[in-house]
Chain A
Amino acid sequence: MDPSISIKNLKLSFGAVEVLHDLNLDIGKGEFLVLLGSSGCGKSTLLNCIAGLLDVTDGQIHIGGQNVTWEEPSKRGIGMVFQSYALYPQMTVEGNLAFGLKNAKIPKPEIKERIARAAKTLQMEPLLKRKPAALSGGQRQRVAIGRALVRDVDVFLFDEPLSNLDAKLRADLRVEIKQLHQTLGNTMIYVTHDQIEAMTLADRIAIMRGGSILQLDTPKEIYNRPATKYVAEFIGSPTMNFLDGRIEGGAAPRFTSDVASFDLAGYEFTPQGPQAGDAWFGIRPEHIIVGPEAAHSPFQLEGQVELVEPLGSDTLARVTSGGQRLWVRMDGQADITPGQTLPLGLTPALANIFDKTTEARL
């Protein structure tokens, strides 16, 4: 299948500072790609380059098979939704949707029809005559999505669209965006710093840091096999636990730390295979088995409970074992108290091991 968008050797510099480093990225037709990273990682900058709002320093951008590197944003076949909604405040919702179309000299009946269609899709027919000031944050963002929708384009770009909304609305609108994607089947690129949005919405996630893409993969792969320690830490809450230690041995590699030493049978190494040296043994809180079942795990530890955080659905606990701190996730009904000693079970197959110097997954 031809990619809907491809980015080839894209570089962007502001003066002497290179903010995007030689990016290559292909996005399939109908794919939902999320650009994820903390602020300043270049994700919004990349989106602005794709939209044509920033001039690239080198490389090419292709959308729908066309080389659009020098094209104006309005000619790229994209619609864009912004964090601040960027609605035109003195026009009604209808006026907002129609303004760009009128300007493109699209005949009136067609404008009407497109607005009606968009309003129906987004269930905002009653809002059409209102001005943005009379709308709630969620409604405004829906109008902003509508403005992208009426452009009848194949590619939607979202620049942190939900960041200005409160938590409840954010969750609701997230679902709506996912629904919209399933209904329309457009290509969507979505920038966010929120890992939950990324995990729930994306077909693939591109995790960015310092102007480069660290890992581009499905949410599942990224969660289960993070390419670097940074990715592992970024995704998942509470973050992955890291045991400080070293890898030993060639044929039957072992991980040794102050707490324990165990062989890594069942662990899937990267094609390069195991390398001896200092390493982090990373394991997610929910992969640490707590209580009597720990006995069935390949390796056991003992940990003392320091702190308990009951969340209702889950219970989180911070335990120490031989000077190393670990977060564990348990059932919401678990009945534990600080000071208590718990048996913990580790399964190397579920873990991720990172080289201490390169921070890459082994």
Chain B
Amino acid sequence: MSDPATMSAAVVGSDAASGALSGPRGPKPRRRFSRRNVFIYGTLIVVALYYLLPLYVMIVTSLKGMPEIRLGNIFAPPVEVTFQPWVKAWSEACTGLNCDGLSRGFWNSVRITVPSVLLSIAIASVNGYALANWRFKGADAFFTILIFGAFIPYQVMLYPIVILLREMGIYGTLGGLVMVHSIFGMPILTLLFRNYFTSLPEELFKAARVDGAGFWQIYLQIMLPMSLPIFVVAMILQVTGIWNDFLFGVVYTKPDLYPMTVQLNNIVNSVQGVKEYNVNMAATLLTGLVPLVIYFVSGKLFVRGIAAGAVKG
């Protein structure tokens, strides 16, 4: 960078002053490996490696055979790569009740997550829209209760909901669990949508009303098409949140309907038999795969979701 400087001085030599520049000029010289940079990047790299370590160990363990695990160290890459643990985790691992692997839990989780996500987003987006644009008396009070509800420990409401679901005849069914997820997703999603709809120009809504559009017309034809990003954010938030749920799954469903997380825990922490660490890690990875893929694919939107959804804890 400093070499062409002498040249450029000659090029602009027509300017009387330029030929005689002496002393410091141009950018302040900085060493690439200044102490500051070494400290910043050094710390970040070490920390990043530490954060990556568990993922790495999961992967290498799941690709080893049991003899190799017993002899070697957990950080060593597999000498002989085997996919057997993955196959076993997916289709043969035992939970103590049955031995058809995680696949059952996976499909249960899919059957829980898909309707829960759709239903909770549908409800919350309409709620948020009603709160943002059609303020009615008492709306703010209900909303405040709803937000406070997000902080109430789930344990306080676990049993009343059991009674509620039992009365409705859906305790222990997927439908019941879907309802529970929709209820507990409501505070944060409503907040998310309300804040988003409030940020849209109000004139748009007023103009549509002057044009004679009603509640649903404005929602479907004006608000929805403008809100795609926030729907994606809500979706990411809900898919990861519901997929990762353990407590509701274990409380509100029966063993053959357990979601993947519950089943995973039962496989790994079941006391019978010899522990197969490689199968356990393959099962753990399999369960973590869905949220991880969503995370790595969605990038910034995920960050936006957690900033809004952090209340969920």
Interface residues of A, Cβ cutoff 8 Å to B? 8-9, 22, 24, 55-60, 67, 69-70
Contacts and interface: CB of A to CB of B under 8 A. Distances in A.
Contacts of B15: 9, 24
B17 A56 contact: no
Contacts of B26: 56-59, 69
A9 B28 contact: no
A64 to B, nearest CB: 14
B212 interface: no
Contact of B21 (A9, A55, A56): A9
Contact of B12 (A9, A55, A67): A9
Contacts of B12: 9, 22
B27 interface: yes
15 contacts: A8-B21, A9-B9, A9-B15, A9-B25, A22-B12, A24-B17, A24-B18, A56-B26, A58-B25, A58-B26, A59-B26, A60-B24, A69-B28, A70-B24, A70-B28
A67 B27 contact: no
Contacts of A9: 9, 12, 15, 17-18, 21, 25
Interface in B209-235: none
Given A22-B12, A58-B27, A67-B23, 15 more contacts: A8-B17, A8-B25, A24-B15, A24-B17, A55-B27, A56-B26, A59-B26, A60-B23, A60-B24, A67-B24, A69-B23, A69-B24, A69-B28, A70-B28, A70-B29
Interface string B9-44: 100100101100101111111000000000000000
B49 interface: no
Contacts of A8: 17-18, 21, 25
B27 A60 contact: no
Contacts of B173: none
B122 interface: no
Closest 9 CB pairs of A and B: A70-B28, A70-B24, A67-B23, A69-B24, A58-B26, A55-B27, A60-B25, A9-B18, A67-B24
Contacts of B9: 9
B5 interface: yes
Nearest to A67: B23
B8 interface: yes
B124 to A, nearest CB: 36
A60 B17 CA distance: 11
Contacts of A69: 23-26, 28
A239 B253 CA distance: 75
B18 to A, nearest CB: 5
B308 to A, nearest CB: 26
A69 B24 CA distance: 6
Contacts of A24: 15, 17-18
A56 B9 CA distance: 15
Contacts of A57: 26-27
